[in-house]
């Protein structure tokens, strides 16, 4: 039964990541339910989604647009250092503390799903009003780098809701072309997740036996989700993900993590 649950979680998580994000809301609780310690469950789920990040980055490689004040080398360095730091902090976090943080982290990611699209729409309107042809950054390059670094540390630590948080931050940095933002988001996600997974592996936090099945089903779910994306509205999917996030957070608050 545990393997069936893991397979279903990987499939649904991969499908959600393909169409809107939020796959960690499914995989993390299931991995904890089947007996993995919370830190290992988080690390294993993140590792399982890495192939999807790589595929997405390759798919959108021609659409990448950089925010004003930052170059690709700087963004890559921020992604790698931030992801490494977040993963290292995770490995240094006790199981008890991470158990307490899980529902709050899920709520943070859920809030990002609610607020993120609104921030993007508002930023797009304000940019059009001030300069129809040019996306004007809202902060300097140093502040922009620090904002991205903070998100990358979060991604290396938890990864849940990373995509929508990155899109929201890129919108605050002045970007309005969604395809260009998606391209950069996928590259940043791939870089920080890849280095974080390496840190997890060195620290022995990844459950190899669970990872194989979870990863395979996440890839299968990703293909299915890509097809589903054309048939189901993003609004409906986002409402579903927000509902799942709230229910999972409530479950962890009420029952705790063993």
Structure tokens at 52: 């999807």
pLDDT at residue 70 in the model? 81
User: Are 254 and 32 contacting, i.e. CB atoms less than 8 angstroms apart?
Assistant: no
At 181, is the pLDDT very low, low, confident or very high (cuts 50, 70, 90)? confident
Work out the number of other CB atoms within 10 angstroms of the CB of residue 237: 20
Distance of CA 61 to the CA centre of its chain: 18
pLDDT at residue 192 in the model? 94
Nearest 5°: CA angle at 147, between 175 and 39? 120
Close Cβ partners of 25 (under 8 Å, ≥ 6 residues apart): 13, 16, 106, 109, 110, 160, 241, 244, 245, 248
Average pLDDT over residues 144-152: 90
- Largest Cα–Cα distance in the chain? 57
Which of 24, 34, 6 minimizes the C-alpha distance to 193?
Answer: 24
User: Which residue would you say has higher pLDDT here, 166 or 138?
Assistant: 166
Which of 133, 132, 136 minimizes the C-alpha distance to 171?
Answer: 136
Q: Is residue 6 predicted with pLDDT exceeding 50?
A: yes
Q: Identify the weakest region by mean pLDDT among 10-19, 55-64, 230-239.
A: 230-239
CA dist 89 and 92 (Å) reads 5
3-class DSSP assignment, residue 160: coil
- The domain total for the chain is 1
Q: Is residue 155 predicted with pLDDT exceeding 70?
A: yes
Work out the number of other CB atoms within 10 angstroms of the CB of residue 234: 11
User: Are 10 and 27 contacting, i.e. CB atoms less than 8 angstroms apart?
Assistant: yes
pLDDT at residue 249 in the model? 84
CA dist 55 and 256 (Å) reads 35
What's the whole-number average pLDDT of the chain? 82
Q: Is residue 137 predicted with pLDDT exceeding 60?
A: no
pTM of the model: 0.82
pLDDT at residue 66 in the model? 83
Of all residues in the chain, the percent with pLDDT exceeding 90 is 30
Q: Give the domain range for residue 44.
A: 2-255
pLDDT at residue 123 in the model? 57
């Amino acid at each position: 039964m545990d393997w069936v649950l893991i397979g279903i979680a990987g499939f649904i998580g991969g499908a959600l990541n393909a169409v809107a994000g939020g796959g960690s809301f499914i995989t993390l609780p299931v991995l904890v339910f089947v007996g993995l310690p919370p830190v290992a469950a988080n690390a294993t789920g993140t590792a399982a989604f890495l192939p999807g990040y790589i595929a997405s980055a390759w798919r959108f490689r021609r659409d990448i647009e950089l925010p004003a004040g930052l170059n690709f080398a700087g963004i890559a360095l921020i992604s790698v250092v931030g992801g490494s730091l977040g993963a290292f902090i995770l490995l240094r976090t006790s199981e008890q503390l991470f158990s307490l943080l899980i529902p709050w982290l899920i709520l943070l990611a859920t809030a990002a799903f609610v607020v993120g699209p609104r921030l993007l729409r508002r930023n797009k309107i304000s940019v059009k009003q001030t300069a129809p042809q040019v996306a004007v950054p809202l902060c300097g390059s140093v502040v922009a780098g620090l904002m991205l670094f903070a998100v990358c540390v979060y991604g290396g630590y938890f990864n849940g809701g990373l995509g929508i948080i990155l899109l929201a931050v890129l919108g605050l940095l002045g970007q309005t072309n969604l395809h260009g933002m998606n391209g950069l988001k996928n590259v940043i996600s791939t870089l920080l997740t890849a280095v974080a997974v390496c840190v997890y592996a060195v620290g022995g936090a990844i459950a190899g036996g669970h990872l194989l099945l979870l990863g395979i089903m996440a890839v299968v779910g990703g293909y299915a989700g890509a097809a589903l994306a054309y048939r189901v509205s993003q609004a409906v999917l986002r409402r579903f993900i927000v509902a799942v996030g709230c229910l999972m957070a409530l479950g962890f608050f009420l029952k705790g993590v063993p």
